Each structure stands twice: as C-alpha cells, then as structure tokens.
Amino acid sequence: MTVSWLPVIAIDSGGSLVTLLLSGACSWYARKWARQKPDHIFRNYIYLLTLAIVFFALSRSLGHLAKQILLWQGQESLWRSISPYSGAVNSATFIVIFAFGIYFHRFQAIQTEMEMYKDNLEEMIDQRTIELERKNEDLIKSQTALANVLNSSIPICITGVDYEVVQANQAYYQFWPAEDGHSKCFEQRPGSLCHTQLCPLRQIVDGQTDVLIETSKLIAGRERFFIITARPYTDADGKLLGTIESFQDITIWKQAADERTLLERQLRLAQKMEALGTMAGGIAHDFNNILTAIIGFAELGRVRAQAGIDCSHYFDEVLQAGDRARDLVKHILTFSNRGERTKNSILIDILAKEILKLIRASTPTTIEIRENISPCGHIFADPTQVHQVIMNLCTNAVQEMEESGGTLTVSLDKLDLTATDLTDEPDMTPGPHAAIAVSDTGRGIPNHIREKIFDPYFTTKPFNKGTGLGLAMAANIAKSHGGTISLRTEVGKGSTFTLFLPLIQTIQEEADIPEEAIPTGTEHILVVDDEPAIVEVLVSLLQNLGYRVTAASGSLMALESLKADPDDFDLLITDQTMPQMTGLELARAATAIRPGFPMILCTGFSRDIDAGNAESLGIRGFVMKPVTLREIAKLIRKVLDEPPSPIQP
C-alpha cells in the first residue's frame, strides 16, 4: 500500500511553524524580563539560556521544514548532502544548552551572593552617609562655635609653643595691635608673668591642662589687670601645638575692690571716731576719779609725813591709781591704733568689764545698767575691733532708751553650739562660743525694719545721731572673727543683740608664783629724757638699786658724754620723743660710736617704733611709759645679762 507523504509533510511543517512562533515569543519575553534588571547576572544568564534553547528549537524546526520541502519536491539527494550539517548544528546547540544547564545553580549562587554583597554594601554606604552627615553637622557646629568665640568681646588668641601668636580675634587686636612685626606673645602683650615659671604657655608645656591665673599688663602706658584662662592647643594626633588663651579684663573690678577696701578702712575709722566720741565722757570721768585719788592720797601722805606718821598705805593707793591710769591710756591707744589689725588670745570677760566701765560713766542716770559677766575663757580676736562691736551695741541700746529711760543688761555666757544651731550660719564652726548679749527695754524693732538693720547706711536715727554704718560694720567684724550677731526683739518690750565669738583652748595658767625680789646692779647707766621730773625719778630709782647713774636732759648732751668716754657707760636708757634728736637717732649715733652698745628705749607713745623694729635697729630693750620700778629693774638685768640677738638685715 502506498503511503501519502502529504499529511506527514503538513504535520511536520505545521509543528515547525508553531515551534518557530513559540520560540520567537519565548525569546521576546525573556529579553523583556532580562531588561527589567539589566545588571542582574542571573536574569541575563536565563536570557542567554532561553536564546540557546530557542536557537536549538529553530534549528530543529527549520531542518524538519527543509527536509519535508526537499522530499516533497523530490530532492532527496540534496537533503542527504546537507542533513549532516543540520545535525551538527543541532548537536552544537544542544551542547551549549547542556553547558548552560550545568552552571545554572552556580550562576544562581553567584547571583545570591552578589545580591547579599550589594545589600551589605548599600547598608554600609547608608551608614557611612549618615555618619558623614552627622560629622558634617558637628563640623558646622564647631565652626560656628569657633566663629562665635572668635567674634566675642573677650580677647582670645592661639599661641604656639615657640611663643608665636598664631591666630587671634578682633577683641585681642584691639588690646594688642599687631604692629612693628611683633609676633611673639611677650612682645605683643608684655606683662608680669612673661619669662617666669607662671607663664601660662610654660605651664601648659610642663603638663598642666587648665591654667587660671591673674596678671597685669601695660597697655598704652597704663597697667591693666586680666584673668588668663589657658588650655592646650593640639593637632588631630594629640600633639601639643601651643595654647588657646582668653583674657578677661578685670581692671574695673580691681579698682572697685581697691576703692571698696579704702572705703571700708575709712568707715572703720569713722566708726572708731564715733565710738571715741561716745567714750570721751567716760574717759574724762575715769581720769578725774584717778587724779582725785592720786592728789588726795599724795596730800594725805604729805600731811602724815610732816607729822611723823607712817604714810606708806597712801603711797600704795597712789601707785594703784597710777596703774589704773596706765591701763586706761593703754586701752585708748590700742583702740585708736590705725595700723594693721592683729589678733591674739584675750579674755573676753575682762574686755567686757572694761567696756562697761566706760559705758557707765557716759550713760544717763535714767538708765540702769545690769551686769552678768561670767568667765568663759579666751577668744582669738583683735581686741580693738571686738571693743568697737560691743561699744556699738551698747551705744545703740543707750540711745534707744535716752528719752524714756530703761535698763541696759550686758551678759556673757559660754554656749556649745551644734551644727543644728548653726544651720543658718554655714561659715561658723560648731563648738564652744562666747555669747555677749546686750539687751535694752526700749521700743523694740518692727518687722519691716528688722530685715534692714544690718544693711550699710540704713538708720532710723536722726542725722546727728549716727551714720547707719555701726551694725553693718559690727556684723562684718563678727564674721571676720568666725562669729555672728543675732537679734531677738519684740515691739514695745525691747531688743537683745547677741554677739557670738568662738572660744579657743589655752594652756592652763600656772599657779601663782611668789613675787621675786627686785634685781639690783652696780653698772654705770646713762639716762636721757627732756622731762626733768622723769630724769629725777629714774635717777633716784636706779641709784636705790645700786647703779651709778649719769643724767642728761637732752640727746645732744648725752651724745657729748658718749663721745668723751664711750667705754665709761654700761647701758643707755633714752626717751624717744625729744627735741633736736629723737631717741632712735641717738641710738644710731651711739651704735656708730660703740657698736653693740646696750640700749633701752623708753617712750610714752610713738607710731614709728615698737618692740619689734626697735630690736631690728639694735635696741635690746623697749618699754612703754609709765614704767614701774620692778619692770625697769628686770629689763635692765635682761639687757645687760643676756647676749644680744643677731640683727636681721
């Protein structure tokens, strides 16, 4: 049976055409899919694989179609001649497809790794971008801050380790213009710290990290004061390049502080004069009492002596009155001293009683004074200032009761203050304190005034009754001694001001020692004084002690005696205040004539000399008039018997 090739040809040709269409569609879709992500390696790989399969399908379909056409036309020999080439193409295409298939998973893994690397890289880039943006913001802020600093009104500069001024702001150049090519800091801004160990740059180089120091600098021939703040200036690796310095001008503050100090000194003097004026009546009263005792007992002694009756008792009374007068003068001189304040150990109860003596003499009889002074120990204080405070409190209390009368009560007690008691006084230390309370029975202080009473210049007194500085000064003095002043008041009943001062521990006083005999001697003493009565007294006293005495009524007479025979005298006792030549000048002249000559300087009052600077001038003894027989006798033996201390240059 003859088989017809037409159906076979039709089916084979139709299948080939369908294969061509499907291959073209697959190729078009694969190309479109791959172009969606051109950088995607795996997609490109799939696209190439699809093209290989399509090429294989095309070659197979075209081969079948060509075969059927040639067989249909009877060209079987031609087909046989080209069929080997068609098979080779199909085999090569299959090999390519097989090769693509073998590396399918490998390409897929590579693509996965690349995507992972890409994601990590993008994340790193994002993080780095954020970090760079943050650093850029910080840099902008730093630059802005630096610009603000450099544009500030405070002089700022950067100084290198070679003392070169590297950079500075406009405020700096307003003080120190860059003139004459000066670039060294000590040339631009010479000052008291230049070329010293306190130089801020030198301190930074030596390892300091923060320097804060005060200095002065000459600007246009005028001294100005600055507080310098210096910090290290380093590079990115921490290497020290120099310093960054700022200069705070405190000249105005310094001048204000100096003016304040001067004003406070003047205010203290004004208060002192006010207190002296208050004490004047009491001083006159006490002196009159003392003079009355001296004159009265002296007259009684003369009468009794003329009658041949023992009058030594009257002389003892005269000596006691003289001692009281000496103590009173000493107290006045101490209070009126304008020199630097000195603190020492004092018995507060003794000081309080001395003040009450003066207050009693100047207080109207309509005011009763009650005293409740208990011994409580020593305080470390300036007696003049404490006297001023207590006097001020007492004077205020007396003035409060002048019109209507009343009672002034002054009491002294020892109190142990705890930290709880001192909650409102952080500058005070817990422990034993002397509490000096000054109370009056006046009108009291209203609440609206109570808050202002310690303010300077605040006063409720008439113009001629006070400056309004007393309580302010008193509060400052109390604070400078580690204490305070408190107030308790009630309107219509009176007020109590209490001064608290810390007590100190002192060595227990030794038991009373029997009085020693007055020392005597036989040396030759030259006595110099321009007061004949004092010369007569000293000569008689010293002769009674066994000494040979030569008297001189003036410095020049004494100097002539020394020049005539310097070795004839063993000791010189001279007054300080004399005409023509003072005691100090005489002492210098005597030392020039006879180096190491023993001398005692005796004075009633002098602002220029005291025991300390007298010794520095070679004067071995110093005594304040009036002097007792025992005092001068002991001092003479001390000067003559003890070796001289070396004079400090």
Tell me the three state secondary structure of residue 406: strand
- Name the pLDDT band for 434 (thresholds 50, 70, 90): very high
Q: Which residue has the higher pLDDT, 205 or 111?
A: 205
> Of 4-13, 123-132, 606-615, which range is least confident?
4-13
- Rounded mean pLDDT, 101-107: 58
Q: Which residue has the higher pLDDT, 429 or 190?
A: 429
Q: Which residues contact 103 (CB under 8 A, 6 or more apart)?
A: 45
Query: Per-residue pLDDT for 547 more than 80?
Result: yes
Segment 306-318, tens digit of pLDDT: 877 877 777 777 7
Identify the pLDDT of residue 606. 64
Architecture of domain 156-249: 2-Layer Sandwich (3.30)
Q: Which residue has the higher pLDDT, 649 or 341?
A: 341
Percent of the chain whose pLDDT exceeds 90: 13
Query: Per-residue pLDDT for 338 more than 60?
Result: no
- Name the pLDDT band for 406 (thresholds 50, 70, 90): very high
Distance CA 602, CA 300 (A): 31
Identify the pLDDT of residue 509. 45
Identify the pLDDT of residue 423. 82
Distance CA 478, CA 281 (A): 27
Distance CA 224, CA 164 (A): 22
**Tokens at 249, concatenated:** 């001008």
- Rounded mean pLDDT, 455-481: 65
Segment 466-478, tens digit of pLDDT: 444 467 778 888 8
Query: Per-residue pLDDT for 398 more than 70?
Result: yes
Identify the pLDDT of residue 10. 65
Segment 346-387, tens digit of pLDDT: 889 888 888 887 777 677 888 899 999 988 889 998 887 888
- Name the pLDDT band for 484 (thresholds 50, 70, 90): very high
Distance CA 367, CA 463 (A): 23
- Name the pLDDT band for 604 (thresholds 50, 70, 90): confident
CATH fold, domain 524-641, is: Rossmann fold (3.40.50)
> Of 289-298, 373-382, 459-468, 616-625, which range is least confident?
459-468
Please list the alpha-helical segments (H only) found in 249-309: 251-306
Instruction: Name the pTM for this structure.
Output: 0.46
- Rounded mean pLDDT, 483-507: 88
Percent of the chain whose pLDDT exceeds 70: 68
Please name which of 476, 457, 453, 460 lies closest in space to residue 468, comparing C-alpha atoms: 457
Identify the pLDDT of residue 180. 53
Angle at 91 between CA 88 and CA 94, to 5 degrees: 150
Distance CA 64, CA 573 (A): 157
- Rounded mean pLDDT, 400-404: 86
Q: State the CATH class of domain 344-505.
A: alpha beta
Alpha-carbon distances, residue 593 vs 527, 548, 576, 585 (angstroms):
17, 21, 19, 13
